[in-house]
Structure 1
Amino acid sequence: MIATRNEVLRLTDELVRVKSVVDTPGEIDAANKLYAFISSIPYFKERPNQLIQSKTVDDEFDRYNVLAYVEGTKDVTNKKTLILMGHLDTVGIEDYTNLEDVACSPTELMERLKDELLPDLVKEQLLSGEWYFGRGVLDMKSGVASHLSLLKYYAEHPEELSGNLIFFSECDEEVSSKGVLSGLKDLKKWKQEHGFEYIGLINSDFVAPLHEEDVNRYIYKGTVGKLLPSFFITGAETHVGSSFEGLDPNYIAAELTRQISYNPDLCDRHLGETPAPPVSLKQTDFKPNYTVQTALSAYVYFNFFVQSWSPKDVLNKLVEQAEIAFESAVNSLNKRYERFCEISEQPYKPLPWKPRVILYEDMTKQLKQEHGEQFIQHMISFKSELLQDKSLDTRMFAARVVEEEWKWMKDKSPAIILFYSSLYSPCLDLTGKDDKEVNLEAALVEAIETIQPEYAHPIVTKNYFPFICDMSCVAIKDDEEGIRAVTENNPGWGTKHYVDYQDIRDINVPAINIGPYGYDGHKRYERMEIEYSTVVVPKITKEVIRRLIG
């Protein structure tokens, strides 16, 4: 136990000390560090072709995944293959403020934290010596370290494997999942070259308490899916001195946010579990500078978790929500106008605005019918030019495309245009759909039963990892209609944004998450519990491996 603890903690520390903030050159440094470590293992010195540092594809950043595999010798004819996956990138370190210089140096950080005024729980855990602090210790370099220790163990003991074990450390988990999506191509290549039969994947992203009194350590048998429904809102401009003569799109945007954000009716409850409701991640207008004219357009997008709903289901639900919000905004505006007329002693006449919600694919189809090749060629040129602006992410790129297409609309009365503007991450669950799912779940249950007596706190399984992780990119249950709702309603599809969902279908491996336990992922006091993260996690993972390919 002590040997495992010390090794995983040491590897965690070494990985954390490489500042690998997503979308920075630090991601390369982390991949280099990992590659060098695995290269030093005698097994891979003798078999260098079983280790690769693979560059991401279709990526504006220069970064790499690291993949390696051990071939079991207990039964060389067995092609069953289990994948251990984890990401090495982290979020930024700006939240550490005065401690930013030691954010990636756990020992130094913990010493400096002792001089800070800390919340009671943070102080208690810091002084106990049983918790480890620093950016990435929880999310999720300790998880990668656990997998790395197991890769090293089986590289030293391939005779214990009846099958094959793949280690897959991906980059860019925190933003665009370019790492895992690129890595799928390497997994497909190995599948074709070596006949690997992928029977399961174990991710090692962090787990955390679900509420203040929660003492459970969770293992997840799948993950929530994620969509980014986006709304381009047009109004009718007017001088602020005649405000009721126009319709401010920000007013509609505010009502739309009130209607959708935190709305429990938009929680996709499934298998007895409920994900977090939608919440706004951006709300802005497109006025470039100050004038006394109201804005021409506004833009809002929301995080939206799914567990059973398809992308098409979500669009249908949000069209309805947008219509409710638009009508509510018009009604409240009329009431305010009526009251204004009353106190200003002016005659009241109902305002002319009517709710109008348009699905992006319907708008584009209409514009192609009305303007034909002229519109099509214009938009091809517009997108090509827009791609040169590297400051635009996929979300703002999509909004600018919608803004440009709107200029071609003959009817420019106020409207809400609904579309998707970012990556669709499918939901994933274990429901016994096939033998692979049945076997993976059975192995997990038996592993927990074996290890639980050694650990004080309850180890509990749940169906859906409640955050966002790259497990979403290794299997998919959506049909073609569901995926079409994504591709046809993303204005940047095929230019700024593209996902080869066939790559996911070709791998389509059931996945679970056995990850480190702690608090404050993505926050200043990010920390992991050492015993669970460095001892229990690798033990449970090893038990699952043993039952599937041992």
Structure 2
Amino acid sequence: MFDCRDEVWALTKQLVRIESIVNEGGEKVMSQSLHTLIYSYPYFQQHIEHIIYQQTENDEQERYNVIAFIKGTKNPSNKTVILMGHIDTVGIDDFSLKEQALDPDALAQALHQEELPEAVKNHLLSGEFEFGRGVLDMKSGVASHLYLLKYYSEHPEELEGNLMMVFECDEEDGSHGIISALSELKRLRELHGFDYIAAINADFVSPRYNGDPNRYIYKGTVGKLLPSFFITGSETHVGSCFEGIDPNFIAAHLTRQISYNPALCNEAFGETTVPPVSLKQMDLKPTYTVQTALSAYVYFNFFIHSWSPKEVLELLKVEAETAFATALSEFKQHYATYSKVSGEPMNDILWEPRVMTYEDMDSILQNEHGEAYTLHMDAFKEQLLQQTDLDTRMFAARVVEEAWKWMPNKNPAIIMFYSSLYSPRIEVTGKNDKEQNLLEALDSALEIVQPTYPHPIVTKNFFPYISDMSFVALSDDEAGISAVSTNNPGWGTKHYVDYEAIRAINVPVINIGPYGYDAHKQYERMERNFTLNIVPNLTNEVVKNLIGSR
């Protein structure tokens, strides 16, 4: 096994000190520095065509991926293993010690002078943890891959295949990096005849519960959707509140119905997703008035293991209908009580729960208005694209809001749609030769490495966080993917993903990454032994089992 702690740590600090907050310009500096570092290796000076500096595609930001590969010379083979990792981080606004956030050594010294939570203080004093933005998520993982890249660039004779590195930007937001890398992976496959047999990501892992002693290796990954709801009410003056219905009232019932609902957890292979939770709830009134809002907007994080995007819409339609019915029932009860105490007569309430998908509404409007509607909406979307402050989620909401104006029936309704990126779920279960070979390579590697480490290294089926693993394979069928494209109002304008390009690569992927705590928080920290020693050695053993010399 490699004695690599010091070198991987030096690489980690070098990367952490380069600010690469997503969407803020530093990613470009990070990729330039990474390209310069890799190019300094003699192998790449002799094979300059083996390192690619790739600008992302269809991206509002200027940023780049760095892709590099080594061709093994022991027994030349098309078999190719991909090592992947993202080079961007989240911001540092949460740090009380912002000036030290990107300098692990200075941050550690400064933290000794701070009042810290007990667990954080214990980790700091132990000397076994390193702190800093990106030190866990995931520049130490990138450093592990860089160590292996340098080693095999000096020893290509130990490879019976090829080793590909994909260092991608924009993982923390829109995944433009890995999605753009797909075209380059396809080009390289066609040019060099590569057969992508496995991918290893190096994103961070953390304890799953307090006191959890395990360090996890994940086979495949959770999928993530952003189901969204445009809710219309019936506007009224607040002094006559029962003459209309506030869409915020319906939205509140919808959030209560969906958020934290364990019936919406998806179990597969003995593992269960966390339930959905609301990420935004708002009305769409532009300014203060004493009228109730015309519409509200809610969206939810939704993790999946086995459900398709189509199935999620079907499940949530039932929940939305239940929430709508509950809201109307409660509204009528409140109205009846108010009527009794005020002595004012109660009017009939004729509204009924009405829930439809964006695809359903769009079809109704096309049938009703024909070309006039489609031309108007195309022009409206083009106009919206000029508003650069609109993210994909608000862009989608504004499209639905505009389309709703064309609806002949303006009674209260809930329109369901997807407003952001679908990160596909991936199962790696041994269902084909590539998956089986990867799982066997991992099992053999664990047999070698586990005796050298005091804590259990445990494999699980689904990486539990959003990651770029989702974009190298596809478990969904065409109907599942179609539900994403036909129900995203920004599809083809503000948002587009070539899911067939993912299916074309379709390589089984596992995650072997740094271990630590508080990713995306000010006390982000990683454990030295597992991160700097176990991760590169375990990854290397898997590589050797797949394409190396034993």
Q: TM-score, normalised by structure 2?
A: 0.99
- 1:84 is aligned to 83
Give identity over the alignment, percent.
61
CA distance in 2: counterparts of 1:86 and 1:356, whole angstroms: 44
- 1:358 is aligned to 356
Aligned pair partner of 1:373 in 354, 371, 374: 371
Unmatched segments (≥5 aa) in structure 2: none
1:345 deviates by: 2.2
Residues 242-296 of structure 1 show CA distances to partners (whole Å, capped at 9, x for unaligned) of 1111110000001000000010100111000001110101111111111100000
- Alignment of structure 1 residues 517-536 onto 2, 5 Å: 517-536=515-534
Residues 117-137 of structure 1 show CA distances to partners (whole Å, capped at 9, x for unaligned) of 111110011111111100000
Residue 299 of structure 1 aligns to a residue in which SS? strand
CA distance in 2: counterparts of 1:349 and 1:381, whole angstroms: 41
- 1:264 is aligned to 262
Residue 62 of structure 1 aligns to a residue in which SS? coil
Q: Read off the aligned partner of 1:72 and give its amino acid letter.
A: G
CA distance in 2: counterparts of 1:25 and 1:35, whole angstroms: 16
Q: Read off the aligned partner of 1:110 and give its amino acid letter.
A: A
- 2:27 is aligned to 27
CA distance in 2: counterparts of 1:19 and 1:183, whole angstroms: 22
* 1:93 is aligned to 2:101: no
User: Which aligned segments of 4 or more residues in structure 1 are displaced greater than 2 angstroms?
Assistant: 345-353
CA distance in 2: counterparts of 1:371 and 1:443, whole angstroms: 59
CA distance in 2: counterparts of 1:309 and 1:35, whole angstroms: 39
- 1:483 is aligned to 481
- 1:119 is aligned to 117
- 1:314 is aligned to 312
Checking the alignment, whether the CA contact within 8 Å between 1:286 and 1:296 is kept in structure 2 is: yes
- 2:72 is aligned to 72
* 1:425 is aligned to 2:423: yes
CA distance in 2: counterparts of 1:345 and 1:414, whole angstroms: 27
CA distance in 1: counterparts of 2:411 and 2:210, whole angstroms: 49
1:349 deviates by: 4.2
CA distance in 1: counterparts of 2:488 and 2:350, whole angstroms: 31
CA distance in 2: counterparts of 1:308 and 1:157, whole angstroms: 41
Residues 306-365 of structure 1 show CA distances to partners (whole Å, capped at 9, x for unaligned) of 110001000000110000000000111111111111221223345222111011101101
Residues 161-214 of structure 1 show CA distances to partners (whole Å, capped at 9, x for unaligned) of 000000110000001000000001110000000000000000000000000010
Q: Read off the aligned partner of 1:276 and give its amino acid letter.
A: V
Aligned pair partner of 2:274 in 266, 273, 276: 276
- Alignment of structure 1 residues 293-332 onto 2, 5 Å: 293-332=291-330
Aligned pair partner of 1:152 in 143, 150, 171: 150
Residues 71-115 of structure 1 show CA distances to partners (whole Å, capped at 9, x for unaligned) of 000112x1100000000100111000x311111111111111111
CA distance in 1: counterparts of 2:538 and 2:2, whole angstroms: 16
- 1:10 is aligned to 10
Residue 94 of structure 1 aligns to a residue in which SS? coil
- 2:42 is aligned to 42
CA distance in 1: counterparts of 2:504 and 2:24, whole angstroms: 30
Residue 4 of structure 2 aligns to a residue in which SS? helix
Unmatched segments (≥5 aa) in structure 1: none
Residue 199 of structure 2 aligns to a residue in which SS? strand
- 2:195 is aligned to 197
Q: How many residues align?
A: 548
Q: Read off the aligned partner of 1:268 and give its amino acid letter.
A: N
Checking the alignment, whether the CA contact within 8 Å between 2:427 and 2:475 is kept in structure 1 is: no
CA distance in 2: counterparts of 1:384 and 1:395, whole angstroms: 16
Checking the alignment, whether the CA contact within 8 Å between 2:2 and 2:537 is kept in structure 1 is: no
- Alignment of structure 1 residues 145-544 onto 2, 5 Å: 145-544=143-542
Q: Read off the aligned partner of 1:200 and give its amino acid letter.
A: A
1:431 deviates by: 1.3
CA distance in 1: counterparts of 2:333 and 2:104, whole angstroms: 58
CA distance in 1: counterparts of 2:282 and 2:41, whole angstroms: 52
Residues 439-459 of structure 1 show CA distances to partners (whole Å, capped at 9, x for unaligned) of 000000110111000000000
Residue 221 of structure 1 aligns to a residue in which SS? strand
Residue 400 of structure 2 aligns to a residue in which SS? helix
Checking the alignment, whether the CA contact within 8 Å between 1:285 and 1:299 is kept in structure 2 is: yes
Checking the alignment, whether the CA contact within 8 Å between 2:424 and 2:471 is kept in structure 1 is: yes
1:19 deviates by: 0.8
CA distance in 1: counterparts of 2:110 and 2:429, whole angstroms: 47
Checking the alignment, whether the CA contact within 8 Å between 1:432 and 1:438 is kept in structure 2 is: yes
Checking the alignment, whether the CA contact within 8 Å between 2:3 and 2:533 is kept in structure 1 is: no
CA distance in 2: counterparts of 1:334 and 1:214, whole angstroms: 49
CA distance in 1: counterparts of 2:348 and 2:367, whole angstroms: 34
Q: Read off the aligned partner of 1:462 and give its amino acid letter.
A: K
CA distance in 1: counterparts of 2:346 and 2:392, whole angstroms: 44
* RMSD between aligned residues: 0.9
Q: Read off the aligned partner of 2:62 and give its amino acid letter.
A: D
1:460 deviates by: 0.2
Checking the alignment, whether the CA contact within 8 Å between 2:235 and 2:293 is kept in structure 1 is: yes
Residue 137 of structure 1 aligns to a residue in which SS? coil
Checking the alignment, whether the CA contact within 8 Å between 1:334 and 1:350 is kept in structure 2 is: no
Residue 301 of structure 1 aligns to a residue in which SS? strand
Q: Read off the aligned partner of 2:92 and give its amino acid letter.
A: I
CA distance in 1: counterparts of 2:520 and 2:236, whole angstroms: 42
Checking the alignment, whether the CA contact within 8 Å between 1:91 and 1:522 is kept in structure 2 is: yes
CA distance in 2: counterparts of 1:429 and 1:103, whole angstroms: 36
CA distance in 2: counterparts of 1:92 and 1:276, whole angstroms: 25
1:3 deviates by: 4.3
Residue 482 of structure 1 aligns to a residue in which SS? helix
Aligned pair partner of 1:109 in 107, 118, 121: 107
1:2 deviates by: 8.0
Residue 303 of structure 2 aligns to a residue in which SS? strand
Checking the alignment, whether the CA contact within 8 Å between 1:256 and 1:325 is kept in structure 2 is: yes
